[in-house]
């Protein structure tokens, strides 16, 4: 038998026992009564004392019973447990899955809460190192919560209160569950065997206890011993309908038009009919009723296949906004019932052309769908304040024609002629009579561009850094290259077009069109406003230390500051929904965080998990206690003693 | 009272009295009825020498006569504080019993001495004879409150010192004397006196109805006994009481005295008319 809280019991005993004895030895307030003689009474009392067997005991029977009752209560307070486990203390690593599927409500309130509850039962049943025991047999445990990443909630300790509190503090996320990192972390901690653990407990390897529904993405890559891992399955049903894919894009030719695509999957065994609603900024645009067929269960070689229905909407929307596709029938898992996409307003490019005068280039650029094309002399460009230029973001693309500028404000550049400095590109010499030998026709910049006959009389030899992409090559040097530097994107063309036959090729106009489109997309025409769960939200081009406020889907607000490089980073995208990033003088930016993971939407709990080579079955009945708490029995005994005491008192009083 | 008139005290022994009374006395004396002769020993009254026998036999013989004498009745009544306890009070019962017996004695021309004692003899009405003393006796009995310590031994010492002649002694008390009753009773038991011991107990003493934690105070010496009433305690009390009474009875019986136990709740009439007759104190 061991005590969970021996000190509490001791303190209570120190206070209560002397008090009871004191009360007992206090003079009884007796009623006085006159009698003719106390002679016989005294004799009777003497006789009673002399004749009754175990007289001392009997006289103090009430005290004895009271002491017994008190003792049992005190014992109960000390939290005695009957250990069903022998031997040295064990070490447990509790791996608690907090991924999206653990938010399913088929187990009330959620699977995660159920897992936490089971974990706490395990913690409670751990043997604690009591100061009264002569050798330390206490169990230690650490807690790791994992979704895509593992985080150590509590490192090895035998302090149950701390463990419980930390388990309670585990927050659900909408991420994908991956176990490998958690197992690696657990092993690292178990081997390092923290200072709190003792030599005795180091003999056995730590027991991994997994609380999950078994929907883990990377089980194949994990190697554990069959004895090492215990799997406690959480969850009951697999019925769930979720949005597993969604995208929205504008047609390039007709920017007003928005194409929305969504895929709804049914993971239940019955076909379901659901209303799917499309809304922009909360205004419902369309509701469509669909029937999603039932899933096909795996049988033999056939893998599991959810029932799938795809949806397409085409609508006209001239402004920006947040698109939401939501299936309206509720089910166990709510985080996959909707998906969001952030739609930017249709935008035509603003282009700044820095040239001494190049009608060919200018007319080619004018042929592209640009909003504005501002010509500018090289001297005029050099006088611009780069900071103000970057802040205004007036131009999406700057075209440099045969000009090496003194400074490069961060922007997207299409550069003809010599490369500018400060972008790690050197041009040691000039080349003559170069012919294109190869080009990447698949790259968006060179799509549909035929460069077969391109000849340049003079060109600049390019020495590119490693991360530059070469899109076309002359026989001696790269001809067209793509480079990301200093927060900008550079498309370098190493020759003056007027020194080549390119203006006479139809491919030149196509190249201009492609390059502008590509750079325009880089500028934010299709800026990445969608994130997977857990992927950080970043906003570039902020001033250092500028304060941003991120509004989370739940309504909570988080203040973030830009780093010295002008980047705002918000990593806390643990839940699905729309996050809004705001600053004092900047427009609000929305980011959609979507689950879109069939792996997590399939919430049917696994009977057994197949690790690399080892299958671990779920434990049949919940967490088995390593000990039996004795306090209810003791409390019952105390009640019994009190009853007996009452009876004894009444018997004694009866005449 | 009319019924008491018909009663008379009876001494089982033939006792001698001072006056030549109505009953036979064992004492050989001056009466006319010759009883016996006995040889003269030095110191005998020469008046009783039978000179005729001397003349015939030349030896000195004394003439012995049977003498008829009156009966002396001593009532020794306990009026200590302990007798005031009980419902009805033992003291009242004792006094009424004494009054009844006294009345019988006076009515039958017996010599009556009533001694009321607590810590020694408090009041004594000595040598009353005849109905004239009735009022005096009643006054004395009813006018005495139950009060004070009890010292039976001293009372008996005093009484037996003043007791002359022979007769009947009736001691009425609860006989709860802490110093014991044996020595005192031994003083009262003598060849010339019949001793009747009447122990008066109240119903509360015979079967106490108590409950709870009590502190019993002795009404006389304020001695305290702390008890927690339980069935066992009551059982032991009753057993003790019975043993105590039995002891007293045996003490009396062994010494030729008669023991009577009375409950203060009983009627005096029954006691006097039936019970005392049956034990031949009265006829």
> Is the predicted pLDDT of residue A83 greater than 70, yes or no?
no
Best mutation target among A26, A27, A43, A44 (most B Cβ atoms within 10 Å) is A44
CA-based nearest residue in chain A for residue B244: A40
> How many residue contacts between A and B have a Cβ separation below 8 Å?
106
Q: Is residue B149 part of a domain?
A: yes
Residues A482 and A369 in one domain: yes
Residues B56 and B192 in one domain: no
Residue A287: the pLDDT is 92
- How far apart are the C-alpha atoms of B124 and B141, rounded to whole Å? 10
- How far apart are the C-alpha atoms of A167 and A173, rounded to whole Å? 14
Residues A78 and A92 in one domain: no
Q: Is residue A265 part of a domain?
A: no
Residues B121 and B91 in one domain: yes
Cα separations in angstroms, A459 against A181, A446, A476, B194? 52, 19, 10, 166
Residues B108 and B164 in one domain: yes
Best mutation target among A36, A50, A55, A654 (most B Cβ atoms within 10 Å) is A36
**Burial of residue B38 (number of CB atoms within 10 Å: 0-12, 13-18, 19+):** middle
Q: Do B215 and A30 touch (CB under 8 A)?
A: yes
Q: Which residues in chain B touch residue A52, judged by CB atoms under 8 angstroms apart? A: 232
pLDDT digits (tens, 9 = 90+) for A307-324: 999 999 988 887 888 899
pLDDT digits (tens, 9 = 90+) for A185-221: 888 887 765 444 444 444 567 888 888 888 888 888 8
Residues A506 and A615 in one domain: no
Residues B33 and B140 in one domain: no
Cα separations in angstroms, A377 against A359, A364, A503? 13, 18, 21
Is there a cis peptide before residue A109, judged by omega within 30 degrees of 0? yes
Lowest-confidence pick of A8-22, A126-140, B136-150, B225-239: A126-140
Confidence of residue B104 (pLDDT cuts 50, 70, 90): confident
Q: Is residue B9 part of a domain?
A: no
Q: Is residue A250 part of a domain?
A: no
Residues A136 and A209 in one domain: yes
List the domain range (segments joined by +) for residue B61.
23-69
Tell me what the mean pLDDT of segment B72-94 comes to.
88
Residues B63 and B172 in one domain: no
Confidence of residue B199 (pLDDT cuts 50, 70, 90): very high
pLDDT digits (tens, 9 = 90+) for B233-266: 888 889 889 999 999 999 999 988 888 888 888 8
Residues B39 and B151 in one domain: no
Residues A155 and A187 in one domain: yes
Q: Do B244 and A45 touch (CB under 8 A)?
A: no
Q: Is residue A295 part of a domain?
A: no
Whole-number average pLDDT of chain B: 80
Q: Is residue B30 part of a domain?
A: yes
The count of domains in chain A is 4
Contact B263/A at CB under 8 A: no
Residues A490 and A387 in one domain: yes
**In this complex, which of B213, B226, B231 lies closest to A655 when CB atoms are compared?**
B231
Residues B87 and B183 in one domain: yes
**In this complex, which of A28, A38, A51 lies closest to B218 when CB atoms are compared?**
A38
- How far apart are the C-alpha atoms of A282 and A273, rounded to whole Å? 23
Tokens of B71: 């009966």
Q: Do A40 and B226 touch (CB under 8 A)?
A: no
Asked if A365 and A508 touch (Cβ cutoff 8 Å), the reply is no
Residues A549 and A508 in one domain: no
Residue A193: the pLDDT is 53
Residues A53 and A152 in one domain: no
Lowest-confidence pick of A131-140, A233-242, B14-23, B165-174: B14-23
Q: Do B225 and A33 touch (CB under 8 A)?
A: no
Q: Is residue A61 part of a domain?
A: yes
Residues A536 and A615 in one domain: no
Q: Where are the beta strands (DSSP E) in A391-513?
A: 397-401, 412-416, 430-439, 455-460, 469-474, 478-485, 488-493
Residue A143: the pLDDT is 92
Residue A279: the pLDDT is 92
Whole-structure pTM value:
0.53
The larger pLDDT score, comparing residue B282 to residue A326, is at A326
- Our CA-based measurement puts residue A621 at a distance from the nearest CA of chain B, in whole angstroms, of 56
Q: Pick from B52, B69, B86: which residue ends a domain?
A: B69
Asked if B198 and A16 touch (Cβ cutoff 8 Å), the reply is no
Chain A residues with CB under 8 Å of a chain B CB are 28-45, 47-48, 51-52, 651-655
Q: Do B174 and A654 touch (CB under 8 A)?
A: no
Q: Is residue A614 part of a domain?
A: yes
Task: Give the percent of chain B with pLDDT over 90.
Answer: 8
Q: Is residue A153 part of a domain?
A: yes
Whole-number average pLDDT of chain A: 83
pLDDT digits (tens, 9 = 90+) for A8-45: 878 888 888 888 777 767 656 778 888 888 888 888 88
Tell me what the mean pLDDT of segment A119-127 comes to.
83
- Our CA-based measurement puts residue A57 at a distance from the nearest CA of chain B, in whole angstroms, of 15
> Is the predicted pLDDT of residue A585 greater than 80, yes or no?
no
- Our CA-based measurement puts residue B277 at a distance from the nearest CA of chain A, in whole angstroms, of 29
- Classify the complex by whether its ipTM is higher than 0.90, answering yes or no: no
The count of domains in chain B is 2
Q: Is residue B218 part of a domain?
A: yes
Question: CATH no. for residue B266?
Answer: 3.40.50.410
| Closest alpha carbon to A601 in A112, A267, A171, A247 | A267
| β-strands A397-401, A412-416 pairing | parallel
Q: Is residue A512 part of a domain?
A: yes
List the domain range (segments joined by +) for residue A202.
85-236+605-625
Task: Give the percent of chain A with pLDDT over 90.
Answer: 10
Q: Is residue A311 part of a domain?
A: no
Q: Is residue B8 part of a domain?
A: no
Residues A387 and A465 in one domain: yes
Residues B54 and B165 in one domain: no
Residue A528: the pLDDT is 66
Contact B222/A at CB under 8 A: no
Residues B83 and B35 in one domain: no
Residues B125 and B39 in one domain: no
Residues B81 and B176 in one domain: yes
Question: CATH no. for residue A415?
Answer: 3.40.50.880
Hunting for tokens 């003498």 — which residue is that? B67
Residues B229 and B99 in one domain: yes
Q: Which residues in chain B touch residue A35, judged by CB atoms under 8 angstroms apart? A: 85, 205, 216-219
- How far apart are the C-alpha atoms of A178 and A151, rounded to whole Å? 12
Cα separations in angstroms, A291 against A241, A327, A564, A597? 11, 11, 52, 20
Residues A457 and A536 in one domain: no
Tell me what the mean pLDDT of segment A288-294 comes to.
91
Contact B151/A at CB under 8 A: no
């Amino acid at each position: 038998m061991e005590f969970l809280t021996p000190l509490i019991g001791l303190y209570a005993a120190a206070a209560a026992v002397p008090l009871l004895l004191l009360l007992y030895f206090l003079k009884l307030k007796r009623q006085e009564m006159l009698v003719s003689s106390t002679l016989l009474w005294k004799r009777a009392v003497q006789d009673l004392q002399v004749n009754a067997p175990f007289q001392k005991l009997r006289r103090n029977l009430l005290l004895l019973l009271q002491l017994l009752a008190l003792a049992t209560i005190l014992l109960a307070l000390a939290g005695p447990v009957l250990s069903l486990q022998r031997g040295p203390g064990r070490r447990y690593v509790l791996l608690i899955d907090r991924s999206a599927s653990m938010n399913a409500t088929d187990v009330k309130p959620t699977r995660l809460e159920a897992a936490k509850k089971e974990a706490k039962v395990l913690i409670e049943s751990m043997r604690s190192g009591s100061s009264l025991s002569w050798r330390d047999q206490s169990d230690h445990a650490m807690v790791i919560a994992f979704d895509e990443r593992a985080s150590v909630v509590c490192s090895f300790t035998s302090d149950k209160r701390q463990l419980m509190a930390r388990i309670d503090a585990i927050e659900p996320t909408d991420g994908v569950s991956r176990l490998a990192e958690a197992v690696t972390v657990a092993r690292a901690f178990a081997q390092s065997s923290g200072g709190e653990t003792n030599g005795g407990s180091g003999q056995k390897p730590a027991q991994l206890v997994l609380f999950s529904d078994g929907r883990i993405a990377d089980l194949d890559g994990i190697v554990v011993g069959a004895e090492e891992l215990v799997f406690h399955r959480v969850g009951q049903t697999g019925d769930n309908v979720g949005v597993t894919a969604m995208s929205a894009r504008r047609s390039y030719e007709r920017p007003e038009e928005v194409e929305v695509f969504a895929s709804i999957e049914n993971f239940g065994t019955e076909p379901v009919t659901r209303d799917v609603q499309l809304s922009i900024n909360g205004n419902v645009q369309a509701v469509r009723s669909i029937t999603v067929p039932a899933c096909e269960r795996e049988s033999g070689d056939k893998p599991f296949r959810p029932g799938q229905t795809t949806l397409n909407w085409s609508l006209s929307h001239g402004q920006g906004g947040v698109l939401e596709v939501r299936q309206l029938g509720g089910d166990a898992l709510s985080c996959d019932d909707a998906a969001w996409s952030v739609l930017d307003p249709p935008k035509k490019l603003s282009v700044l052309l820095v040239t001494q005068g190049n009608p060919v280039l200018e007319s080619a650029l004018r042929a592209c769908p640009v909003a504005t094309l501002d010509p500018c002399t090289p001297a005029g460009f050099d006088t611009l304040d780069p900071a103000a230029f970057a802040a205004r973001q007036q131009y999406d693309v700057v075209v440099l024609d045969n000009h090496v500028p003194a400074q490069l404000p961060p922007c997207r550049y299409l550069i003809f002629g010599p490369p500018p400095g400060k972008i790690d590109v050197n041009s040691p010499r000039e080349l003559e009579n170069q012919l294109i030998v190869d080009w990447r026709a698949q790259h968006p910049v060179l799509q549909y561009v035929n460069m077969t006959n391109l000849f340049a009389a003079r060109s600049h030899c390019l020495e590119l850094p490693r991360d530059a992409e070469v899109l076309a090559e002359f026989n001696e040097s790269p001809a067209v290259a793509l480079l990301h530097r200093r927060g900008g994107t550079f498309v370098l063309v190493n020759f003056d077009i007027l020194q080549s036959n390119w203006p006479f090729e139809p491919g030149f106009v196509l190249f201009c069109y492609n390059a502008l489109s590509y750079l325009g997309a880089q500028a934010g025409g299709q800026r990445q406003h969608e994130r997977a769960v857990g992927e950080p939200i970043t906003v570039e081009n902020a001033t250092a230390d500028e304060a941003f406020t991120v509004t989370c889907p739940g309504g909570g607000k988080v203040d973030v500051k830009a780093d010295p490089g002008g980047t705002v980073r918000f990593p806390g995208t643990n839940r699905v929904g729309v996050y809004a990033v705001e600053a004092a003088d900047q427009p609000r930016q929305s980011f959609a965080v979507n689950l879109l993971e069939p792996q997590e939407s399939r919430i049917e709990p696994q009977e057994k998990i197949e690790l690399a080579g080892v299958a671990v079955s779920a434990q049949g009945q919940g967490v088995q206690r390593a000990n039996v708490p004795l306090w209810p029995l003791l409390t019952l005994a105390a009640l019994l003693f009190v009853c007996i005491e009452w009876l004894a008192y009444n018997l004694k009083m009866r005449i | 009272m009319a019924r008491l008139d018909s009663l008379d005290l009876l001494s089982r022994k033939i006792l001698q009295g001072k006056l030549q009374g109505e009953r036979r006395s064992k004492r050989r004396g001056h009466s006319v009825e010759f009883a016996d002769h006995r040889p003269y020993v030095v110191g005998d009254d020469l008046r009783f020498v039978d000179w005729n026998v001397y003349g015939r036999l030349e030896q000195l013989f004394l003439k012995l006569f049977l003498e008829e004498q009156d009966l002396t009745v001593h009532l020794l009544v306990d009026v200590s504080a302990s007798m005031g306890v009980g419902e009805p009070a033992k003291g009242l019962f004792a006094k009424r019993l004494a009054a009844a017996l006294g009345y019988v004695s006076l009515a039958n021309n017996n010599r009556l001495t009533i001694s009321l004692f607590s810590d020694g003899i408090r009041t004594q009405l000595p040598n009353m004879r005849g109905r004239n003393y009735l009022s005096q006796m009643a006054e004395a009995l009813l006018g005495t409150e139950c009060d004070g310590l009890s010292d039976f031994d001293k009372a008996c010492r005093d009484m037996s010192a003043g007791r002359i002649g022979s007769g009947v002694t009736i001691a009425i008390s609860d006989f709860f004397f802490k110093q014991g009753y044996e020595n005192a009773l031994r003083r009262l038991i003598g060849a010339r006196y019949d001793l009747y011991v009447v122990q008066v107990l109240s119903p509360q003493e015979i079967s106490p109805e108590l409950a709870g934690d009590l502190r019993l105070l002795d009404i006389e010496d304020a001695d305290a006994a702390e008890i927690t009433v339980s069935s066992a305690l009551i059982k032991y009390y009753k057993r003790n009481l019975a043993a105590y009474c039995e002891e007293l009875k045996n003490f009396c019986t062994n010494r030729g005295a008669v023991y009577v136990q009375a409950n203060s709740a009983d009627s005096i009439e029954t006691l006097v008319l039936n019970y005392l007759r049956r034990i031949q104190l009265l006829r």
